Structure 1
Amino acid sequence: MDSSDWQAVTLTLQLGGYTTLILLVIATPLAWWLARQRSWLSAPVQAIVALPLVLPPTVLGFYLLIWLGPEGFVGATLESLGLQHLAFSFEGILIGSILYSLPFAVQPLTESFRQISQGQLDVAATLGAGWWRRFWTIVVPSCQGGFLIAATLSFAHTLGEFGVILMLGGSIPGETQVLSVLIYDHAEAMNYQAAENLSLGLLLFSFVVLMAVYTWQKRPTGGARYVAR
């Protein structure tokens, strides 16, 4: 691989790492609410979260391009404050990755949280444990499988994103040219050997990730029983 390939690898890993960390922060309270509440709002919220599973990536990328670009509400607001709009930037594709991978973090955590016995939490509460202490001493250890699966799937899914990133970020080396986009660029330029090498690397990585997820799910204390469909 040449320097541009390694640059794309580094950028892709950075995007996957940031996306996964931010998603765990966002998805944890959202998944807890979905798992424990019986509000009528839970169904539409679940539908919104799951939209990226059925929505063409280019559709999401198109709307984000409009909203985050110089003519969109977010982009125009940023420019009015003297800042740069987010289209064709790393920050822009990061937002796109977070939204597109959201169900891969929320759904495993939701299924894992649903397995927590309310009786355990009630007993801890009667013993004087506050909400945060109950969460960190009961929920997190019991749902470590759900957290691991959510993080693994979110990271792996981010590495394979293409449509959202191409629509929102284009192919700017060092800024938005991640591995999936670079493979497309190589294929378009008929540099099939380079495209094949990168594709094979992603294929093997994806296989290893799915093997790890399925292996973890077979454990007796494996947490959430979820694999992206």
Structure 2
Amino acid sequence: MGLNAMVLSPQDLNALWLTIKLAVISTGLLLVLSAPLAWWLAHSRSPLKVLVEALVTLPMVLPPTVMGFYLLMFLGPEGWLGRVLEQWGIGHLAFSFSGMVLASMIFSLPFVVQPMQNAFASAGGRLLELAATLGASRMDRFRHVALPLSRRGILTAGVLSFAHTLGEFGMILMIGGNIPGSTQVASIVIYDHVESMNYAAAHTLSLVLILLSLLLLLAIFALNRRAPPLAAG
């Protein structure tokens, strides 16, 4: 393979940038929105906890195309949410970047909630009790005690979600389609390259995604090894 074959084309660069943008936005939103759910799962004794945990884990076992199909039906112009958004003048979310963000958040939900849930369950038992006796509110205990002590789990959740989004294909293709510059992410471009038998371009872009994912995992393992142990209490 020559050096020219190892250069990313403008189409590849656009798709790579869109993929990273999608991963950053969906991961950031997931970390914020999943924290209360992970906290509840870590400490709740509700009989509904088992059902919620099963629903959160469901994206890990369902085929991505199945979830993508039902999301398309839900978000499209004939779906419930799609019709509501159309009536509000916003427009449906099918075949849009916003729709892909929502789909990515649902698909990566277990990769964020489970590490955070485990971290919250083991972080700061005695410190949380001490903060409560000193008059700290539940929100203050969560923000100033639980979150700092759970940084390993939160960091792991963010990296796993980001890396997982880099390689999404089936769900993204179902909900976003293959629109260059709008919904065409790196995994879809790789598929297009293989279909057109442009294996050199597919190899180059695949290698970039492999290296990005490997660097992310190396970073998280290195940071976790250097971080001090959690104070479980």
What is the TM-score normalised by the length of structure 1? 0.92
Query: Size of the alignment, in residue pairs?
Result: 223
Kept after mapping to 2: 8 A contact 1:145/1:222: no
Q: Tell me the CA shift for residue 222 of structure 1.
A: 5.7
**RMSD of aligned residue pairs (Cα, Å):** 1.5
Are 1:192 and 2:199 counterparts?
yes
Of the three residues 203, 209, 216, the one matched with 2:210 is 203
For the residues of structure 1 that align with 2:135 and 2:151, how far apart are their CA atoms? 24
For the residues of structure 1 that align with 2:229 and 2:34, how far apart are their CA atoms? 19
Secondary structure in structure 2 of the residue aligned to 1:114: helix
Give CA deviations for 1:130-160 in whole Å, capped at 9, x if unaligned.
Answer: 2232222211211111111011111111111
Query: Counterpart of 2:215 in structure 1: which amino acid?
Result: V
Of the three residues 111, 114, 121, the one matched with 2:118 is 111
Give CA deviations for 1:56-94 in whole Å, capped at 9, x if unaligned.
Answer: 000000001111111111111212222311110001111
Kept after mapping to 1: 8 A contact 2:163/2:213: yes
For the residues of structure 1 that align with 2:177 and 2:170, how far apart are their CA atoms? 10
Map 1:26-65 onto structure 2 (within 5 A). Answer: 26-65=33-72
Q: Tell me the CA shift for residue 27 of structure 1.
A: 0.9
Unpaired segments ≥5 residues, structure 2: 1-7
Kept after mapping to 1: 8 A contact 2:68/2:103: yes
Query: Counterpart of 1:54 in structure 2: which amino acid?
Result: V
Give CA deviations for 1:165-184 in whole Å, capped at 9, x if unaligned.
Answer: 01111110111101111111
Query: Counterpart of 1:169 in structure 2: which amino acid?
Result: G
Map 1:206-217 onto structure 2 (within 5 A). Answer: 206-217=213-224
| Structure 2 CA distance for partners of 1:222 and 1:70, relative to 1, 3 Å | farther
Are 1:151 and 2:158 counterparts?
yes
Query: Counterpart of 1:42 in structure 2: which amino acid?
Result: K
For the residues of structure 2 that align with 1:206 and 1:75, how far apart are their CA atoms? 34
Map 1:1-229 onto structure 2 (within 5 A). Answer: 1-219=8-226, 221=228
Give CA deviations for 1:79-130 in whole Å, capped at 9, x if unaligned.
Answer: 2222311110001111100000000110000000010243321211111222
What is the TM-score normalised by the length of structure 2? 0.91
